Each structure stands twice: as C-alpha cells, then as structure tokens.
Structure 1
C-alpha cells in the first residue's frame, strides 16, 4: 500500500463520525467509497487531498468537542444530587456549638420516650422532613441532628430516641438528665402504652428534682403525643383521662404520624418549651443540603448581628453523620450541670 492509500483508509471512519454528529449527508468522493481503491496514479495529488482531509478532521474535532460538552452537562445535571450525597459529604458530624457557630442557648436536646410500636420513629421522621414509613422495624437507640438557620442565627436540635433503654434504668436516667425537652409518645388504642408514659413522666420529674436539689417533683418541659388518631376504632384512652392523669404542666396532642394530624401543634409546643423559634416546625422552613447549610453559616460568621438578623428565609438541614455522643460525654455534661447546684453525689445512681 502506498502513502496515498494509507491516508484514505481512516477517513471513512472519520466521515461516519462526522455524519452522526452533524446529521449532514455523507460527502462523496470516488476515492472515499468503501470499494477497492483505484490505482494510486488515478488519485488526485496528495497535497490537495490532505488539505481537504485536514478540513474534515478539524470540523469533526469541533463537533466532537461540542458533543462532549453537552454530554458532560447532562451528566452533571442528572447526577448532581447523587454526587452531593456521597462524594461531597462532610467528613464528620457538624456540631455547631463545638465549631462556635451557635450560641449555647440555641442548642437543645429532645429525648423521645415511649413503649414499642407507638410511632415514635415516624413522628421523628416527620420532624426531620421525611415521609411516613409503613413497615415497622424495632428501633434500637437512634440519634438525629437537625440544624436550622433562622433570622440570621444558627440553631441545633438533637433528637435522642431512647427506645432501647427501657430495660436499663441507669442508662435511661442518664438520657433523661441530659434532655432539655421531652417528647413522650403512646398509642391511643393501647392503654398499657399510656400507663408507661405516665410512669416515664413521673421518673423524669423525680430525676430533674434530684438534679436541681428540689424538695418536690420538678415541672418538666414535656409534650405528650397520643398517636394513631387516624384509626377508625374508638381509642382505649380518652382525652379527659389523659389530662387528668398528666396534670396541667404538660402539653397533650392527639396525633397521627401517618396523615400528619396534630403534629404541627406538637412541634410548635416543643419549640416554645425549648425557647426555639416557631420556624423550627417542618412547615415553616425549607430543607437544604448539609453543604449549603455549612456554606451559609460560615459565610455569615463574623458579621455583626444587626447585619445578619432577619436575612434569608428560614432553612434547615439534617446531619447525615450525626452520632450519639459517648456516654462519657453525657456523664460529664450531667456532672457539669450538677456542679452548678452543688449536689451531694452523682445523680444517675
């Protein structure tokens, strides 16, 4: 094969690519057909064919670049959320207090207690902005963290679902002593679950009274949810009975984690008891990614309160890497709190 033939053979493939990219009709030339090549003496001069070929190659390259740009844009658009949730996640949990991005009074822990199968997990899912989960799976200890940006300030709400601590009194007592507010859940069709909530409320009052060195049971910031209000069958526990048994210092709501009945009022009551803005209720803020939230807080760090207060719509993000602090950390927290009231001994015993 002579030099001229070596040039023509790959051009057929280049033209096929050019056709597919541009949609134009195939350029025809006697020397570019797939048939056997004519003798070399019948081809045009190599120099003139080379100029035509180089022009084709240049056109193909430009079309291919445009094709690659469009494909890359489509890939970026379709996989943006996936990349955000995996490749670009923070390397560790976000603790606003530890990072100095939130004031201590803006950081709260909500301890969730109640009997099994009453809907605690689905109520928490609603607070976090997730959908109701029909299939029941027993919950071991679970910890969630939701971060808010409201009125130019950062807030952190930790949610401890202490379901696995029913048979471990000392462990449950430690969780109770670290709680700022409490969410107690029973099922309206299960009287035993209501009796358990009454016992838990009494335990919380006694533990807080001992921590604060009070002679009488302490008033506790607690919200009680009688869940499964969506059931058609009459409940085993009436509202009047609940109010009589629990007293006036707790807020009671008949709720349904399935259809959302009563949850807005319960979440608003939790915010009020914890000194948090009402915008912490799920319907009052927009959910953003954890990276967007971090950028927002860090971007406004160091600005004056007068400049940032009231800026931007309320938003929140869940921390996908949140893990329950160690029991040693919780114990130190309790001892630090106890020291302020000069207790005689450790209060978790």
Structure 2
C-alpha cells in the first residue's frame, strides 16, 4: 500500500550497573520521577520506561536498574545482552565500590564482546564530598583508560542526573545512526553483474 504514516518512536535501552548501595535506584528514580528516595530496598531488578523528547524528537528510554548484590550475578549476563548503553555507578564515598567498577566493565565487555558499547563511569553521592574516598583524578584516569566519560552526580541534589542520561542516550543514538549508515553503504555497494 502506501508509506507508513505512524513513525515508530525510537527506544533506547539503558542498563544501570554497580555495587549495591551506590545509588543506582536513587539516580533512576530521580531521573524518572524527580524524587529522591533515601530509604530503598535492595533492588532485585526493576525496569522503567519513560517517553521523553530528545533532540526535539519523541523517544522512549527504558532503564533496567540491576541488583548490585552478587547473588544475582547469574541473571546479569542476560541483562547485559539486552543493553544498548551502560551507566556504571560507584559511590565517591566508598573506595571498594570504585574498585568493583572494573569487574562490571570486564563482565560487560566479555558478555557483549564489544569494547565500543556506550558506557559512562558515574561517581554518585557528590553531595557528600566531605566523605569522599575516591579521588576524581583517579576516576577520570580510569574513564580515560576505558575510553569513556566520567561524570559525578548526586541523586539527592539532582546534580548531573539529567545530563548523564542524556549523554548516554546521545551515545546510543550516534551508535545506532552509524550502524544504519554502514548498513546503507553495504547495500549500496552490492551490485549484480548479469
């Protein structure tokens, strides 16, 4: 028949990773609803979807808030496979949570076999800078090693919360666009000789 008149709204799948208690759920809930939740049960894994306007275009963001606890490690691989971009979160007040980011990065790289997946290292709880245990230069150096950006956030004050999700969606969108371009060039490059 004719062209489709309803255009499908793009969906960007974001996955939150990091140790338990670093504020993944608090960041997600602050972004989704503008609420700061002080007390929160350890997450099993919660999924949130929101329609937003991104670069003047409607789209949807799907956020999977994974559990930081080790007992859920077995199901984590399946989550990673479904992700298009990752926010790897640690608490600036907990050095151990920063050390664990390496394990998350390694697991994601292993499962996806892809070092170019959109990824941002996030130091959360910036409002508690007086309790800081992670030097921002060390975190920035790790991000440079990983070829990604490092951003400090606060789910409590909303510092950089929108920015970190927007940046990740931009990276996801750019990657999808370049994949489409490669596909288009591949199709163009094929010719049939009769």
Q: TM-score, normalised by structure 2?
A: 0.77
In the TM superposition, residue 204 of structure 1 has moved relative to its aligned partner by 1.0
2:118 aligned with 1:221, yes or no? yes
| Helix, strand or coil at the partner of 1:218 | coil
Aligned to 2:87: 183
Instruction: Tell me if structure 2 keeps the 8 A contact 1:141–1:165.
Output: no
2:133 aligned with 1:236, yes or no? yes
Q: Distance in 1 between matches of 2:19 and 2:169?
A: 23
Aligned to 1:263: 161
Aligned to 1:31: none
In the TM superposition, residue 137 of structure 1 has moved relative to its aligned partner by 2.2
Aligned to 1:173: 77
Instruction: Tell me if structure 2 keeps the 8 A contact 1:165–1:172.
Output: no
| Helix, strand or coil at the partner of 2:173 | coil
Instruction: Tell me if structure 1 keeps the 8 A contact 2:92–2:132.
Output: yes
Aligned to 1:50: none
Structure 2, unaligned stretches of length 5 or more?
1-5, 175-194
Q: Distance in 2 between matches of 1:159 and 1:242?
A: 24
Q: Distance in 2 between matches of 1:152 and 1:245?
A: 33
Instruction: Tell me if structure 1 keeps the 8 A contact 2:90–2:123.
Output: yes
| Helix, strand or coil at the partner of 2:43 | coil
**Large movers: runs of 4+ above 4 Å:** 149-153
Measured against aligned partners, the alpha-carbon deviations of 1:88-138 in whole angstroms (never above 9, x if no partner) come to xxxxxxxxxxxx7525xx112101111111111111112113211122322
Give the number of aligned pairs: 168
| Helix, strand or coil at the partner of 2:130 | coil
Q: Distance in 2 between matches of 1:174 and 1:236?
A: 32
The CA RMSD measured in Å over matched residues stands at: 2.3
| Helix, strand or coil at the partner of 1:274 | helix
Instruction: Tell me if structure 1 keeps the 8 A contact 2:16–2:86.
Output: yes
Q: Residues 234 and 148 from structure 1, CA distance in 2 versus in 1: closer, same or farther, beyond 3 angstroms?
A: closer
Which has the larger strand fraction?
Answer: 2
Q: Distance in 2 between matches of 1:116 and 1:165?
A: 6
Q: Distance in 2 between matches of 1:162 and 1:113?
A: 6
Q: Distance in 1 between matches of 2:55 and 2:130?
A: 44
Q: Which has the larger radius of gyration?
A: 1
Aligned runs of 1:282-297 on 2, under 5 Å? Answer: none
Aligned to 1:102: 8
